[in-house]
Amino acid sequence: MPGDILLNVQEVFGEVMPTIRIPTPLRPYTGGQSEVAVSGNTVGDALADLTRQHPDLRPHLFEGDSLRSFVNIYLNQEDVRYLEGAETAVSDNDTLLIIPSIAGGKGGV
Amino acid sequence: MLRLTEALHKVIKAHGEVSYPFEGCGLLLGRVVDGVNVVTEVRPLPNVWPVEEEKRVRFRIAEDDWRDVELAAMLKGLDVVGVFHSHPDSLPVASPRDLAWAAWPGYSYLITQVQGGTAVLSRSWQLLPDRSGFVEEDVVIE
């Protein structure tokens, strides 16, 4: 798989790439990997590469072309909504976090 | 299945009681072992639902709080394996509101009933793969 090749290149040559940390419920779709090295110069490109490497992830992150309403992407410690969204630039040492919005409570919707 | 210690369950119950009559919430940290969410730490968090009076029936976890817990967990080799919250004076059953605001199947959703200020019962739920509802999961407290 392309993802395996990318990971192997990183392991063998020490190449640094941005990484995306995968929440535990989504790891069955990344072969159990907790972090996935991705290519791309922007958050949007990085997410596209992630779902290209692991296509089964896509419906859990996206609804159509947009991120699901409860899915938030952080670049290191910053919510990218408050940066430049999908156009936010990423660098090789960056870590992207996938953080869900959670709410609820007793009663109706 | 969800597994945690009695000591951790006490922390969860105490947070529900101190939050009463509002809902209390937080995250469950640990590891997934053979499909079991094994909790080794709990992180009570603020209920940041924006309308104070509605906190009696609603909770919300701030994304920035989740991020901080996630980053701290990473350093310890732990993961977020679930969410806990309390239902004041109400059964610990996942509600339509919990369903509407849920994330991905796989997390444990532990709910504690706090009756008149005293935590009485916890039950845990998993979101169905098609997100159509919750199914109860076994809870082992040891």
Q: Is this complex's ipTM strictly greater than 0.95?
A: no
The Cα-based distances of A91 to A32, B21, B134 in angstroms read 25, 46, 39
Chain B positions in Cβ-Cβ contact with residue A101 (cut-off 8 Å)? 60-61, 63, 101, 103
Does pLDDT of B120 surpass 90? yes
pLDDT of residue A14: 55
Q: What percent of chain B has pLDDT over 70?
A: 100
Q: Which residues of chain A have pLDDT under 70?
A: 1-15
pLDDT of residue A15: 63
Q: How many helices (H) and strands (E) does chain B have?
A: 3, 9
pTM of the model: 0.91
Average the pLDDT over B107-128 and give the result.
97
B40-82 confidence digits (pLDDT tens) = 999 999 999 999 999 999 999 999 999 999 999 999 999 999 9
Contact A22, B74 (CB under 8 A): no
Interface of B with A (CB under 8 A): 23, 32, 49, 57-61, 63-64, 66-67, 70-71, 74, 79-81, 83, 85, 87-88, 90, 95-107, 109
pLDDT of residue A9: 45
Interface of A with B (CB under 8 A): 21, 23-28, 34, 60, 70, 72, 74, 77, 79, 97, 99-109
The structure tokens 């609820």 sit at A104
Q: Which residues contact A4 (CB under 8 A, 6 or more apart)?
A: none
Chain B positions in Cβ-Cβ contact with residue A69 (cut-off 8 Å)? none
Chain Cα centroid distance, residue B121: 13
Q: Say whether B49 and A24 touch across the interface (CB within 8 A).
A: no
Mean pLDDT (chain B) is: 96
For each of the domains in chain A, give its residue range(s) and CATH number, in order of start: 2-100 (3.10.20.30)
Q: Say whether B104 and A99 touch across the interface (CB within 8 A).
A: no
